Structure 1
Amino acid sequence: MKKVRLFISSLIAATILAMGLLVAAPATASVPFPDCRNMAGTTTAQDGVPGPVFYKHMQCFARYGGVNGAYAYTGALDGIPGPNTWKGVQSRLALFGMYSGAIDGIPGVGTYSGLQKYAAKYGSPRYVGPIDGIPGPNTYRSLAGTWNYDFSGS
């Protein structure tokens, strides 16, 4: 009986995803990019101040890109976000329905609002501040917490 329930639950979930009624949560268990595995953790999760390690994690997030990997970041993990990093971030956020602006590599209120929405839904701890496009320590702490889990295992 348990196998039947599990099969039916899986079938219902797959149908809902296929119909586009629900967006799948980002994968955290498997990181396909070897240089994004077992990275150093960022202290941003504690102090809310982004630095080079935080931005390296953001570059790993950007590596996934959007639909079919569109605009995926392919540059060096140097912790210095440039236009290609931001294009990857924007396209990734657009994939989750959290950004609707141009994929132009220029971070603005829309990009930061998208990051706040992402942090509110997937952050660790969840971001509970305003979605105003003005990132602050709580936005950065939330993103850093989830990216520490995704990319450093901590």
Structure 2
Amino acid sequence: MCGSGDGIDRRTLLRGVAAGAVAVGGSLLVGAGPAHASGFHNPFTGYPISDGWQAHLDRGSLGGIDYVMAVGTRLPACGGGTIQNIPYNGTGGHTVTIHHPNGYRTQYMHLSAFSLGNGATVGAGGIVGLSGGAAGAPGSGSSTGPHVHWHMINPSGVRINPLSYLAGLGGTLPKTYTEVDGIPGPIMWQRAQNWLRMEHGYAGPVDGVPGVNTYAALQRAMRGYGYTGPIDGVPGPNTWAAVQRLASRWGYTGPVDGVMGPNSWRGFARFVNQDRYDRLG
């Protein structure tokens, strides 16, 4: 069913991506491989901001950034760390805290659900919860509309603007370990989305969860690699054959048969791991 050397079914791989599951050796990179670091980045770049940092301060808040999104949107970790869930955290409602190895903490507020248990380890891009914020809904706290509130806390316990923190780091994505193990995951797809955002008109979130908009941008990009089908966001063998042609310029030596497997993904990952696709914003 798969091309030579690619003995894993593509649907199985993509189901794992869509579920946000941590694949053994996969791109969530929990404590694994040279590509793993805290990998701080902004996972919400594709969503509008309803209230910025200064607007929070002006109304007496300690600070935060509010990103508008539908209830139930998957929330990727902005960096790796250890999970602490705080249900019904006062005005913040359901709050997930990520304790990062460098002593900083990230908090997302107004969640509708938690995705991981207390003490769980998550890599950058791993899904930590679902957004909420609908007025009066369980876990919404004082929120009056669907969104996620994001802030960070420094090692001294002071709340800080995560965008200022990221600007100091250069706002970069971690490299994907897919280049090594051939298993696509959220970080690989974040890097792909960032490439597509930079060069092919993708305007959705850089969240590592590919959907119709991601795939439509991928199909546009693949025009340069022989794809002649519709730009409909529904990838099929012709889309994936074009991706394999791209991958063949990055070390893939298998057949161009439109069936993705580990060797195809490795070549594609080498492409998206280029330094020029590190930068967000």
Q: What is the DSSP-based 3-state SS (H/G/I as helix, E as strand, rest coil) of the residue aligned with 1:128?
A: coil
1:118 pairs with 243, 246, 259, which one?
Answer: 246
Contact 2:188-2:269 at 8 Å conserved across structures:
yes
Contact 1:62-1:86 at 8 Å conserved across structures:
no
- 1:89 alignment counterpart: 218
Tell me how far 1:44 sits from its aligned partner: 0.3
In the alignment, structure 1 residue 152 sits paired with structure 2 residue 278: yes
Contact 1:73-1:85 at 8 Å conserved across structures:
yes
- 1:103 alignment counterpart: 231
Contact 1:61-1:89 at 8 Å conserved across structures:
no
Deviation sequence 1:79-137 (CA, Å, 0-9, x none)? 0001000110000111x14211000000110110010011112x2xx211000000000
What is the rounded CA distance, in whole Å, between the counterparts of 2:254 and 2:176 in structure 1? 21
Deviation sequence 1:55-91 (CA, Å, 0-9, x none)? 11111232222xxxxxx21011000001000110000
1:76 pairs with 185, 188, 205, which one?
Answer: 205
2:266 pairs with 122, 141, 147, which one?
Answer: 141
What is the rounded CA distance, in whole Å, between the counterparts of 1:152 and 1:140 in structure 2? 18
Identity within the alignment, %: 37
Higher share in helix: 1
Q: Amino acid of the residue matched to residue 148 of structure 1?
A: N
TM-score, with length taken from structure 2: 0.37
In the alignment, structure 1 residue 46 sits paired with structure 2 residue 175: no
What is the rounded CA distance, in whole Å, between the counterparts of 1:84 and 1:75 in structure 2? 7
Q: What is the DSSP-based 3-state SS (H/G/I as helix, E as strand, rest coil) of the residue aligned with 1:145?
A: helix
Change in Cα spacing, 1:97 to 1:140, as seen in structure 2 (3 Å) is: closer
Tell me how far 1:152 sits from its aligned partner: 3.4
What is the rounded CA distance, in whole Å, between the counterparts of 2:256 and 2:278 in structure 1? 27
What is the rounded CA distance, in whole Å, between the counterparts of 2:265 and 2:227 in structure 1? 18
- 1:69 alignment counterpart: none
Q: Amino acid of the residue matched to residue 182 of structure 2?
A: G
Contact 2:225-2:245 at 8 Å conserved across structures:
no
Q: What is the DSSP-based 3-state SS (H/G/I as helix, E as strand, rest coil) of the residue aligned with 1:118?
A: helix
What is the rounded CA distance, in whole Å, between the counterparts of 2:196 and 2:243 in structure 1? 12
Tell me how far 1:38 sits from its aligned partner: 2.9
Tell me how far 1:138 sits from its aligned partner: 0.5
Contact 2:225-2:243 at 8 Å conserved across structures:
no
In structure 2, runs of 5+ residues without a counterpart are 1-41, 46-170
Q: Which runs of 4+ in 1 moved over 4 A?
A: none
Higher share in strand: 2
Tell me how far 1:46 sits from its aligned partner: 0.5
Q: What is the DSSP-based 3-state SS (H/G/I as helix, E as strand, rest coil) of the residue aligned with 2:273?
A: helix
Number of equivalent positions:
110
Report the RMSD for the aligned CA atoms in angstroms.
2.1
2:190 pairs with 47, 52, 56, which one?
Answer: 56
Q: What is the DSSP-based 3-state SS (H/G/I as helix, E as strand, rest coil) of the residue aligned with 1:49?
A: coil
In structure 1, runs of 5+ residues without a counterpart are 1-33, 66-71
- 2:88 alignment counterpart: none
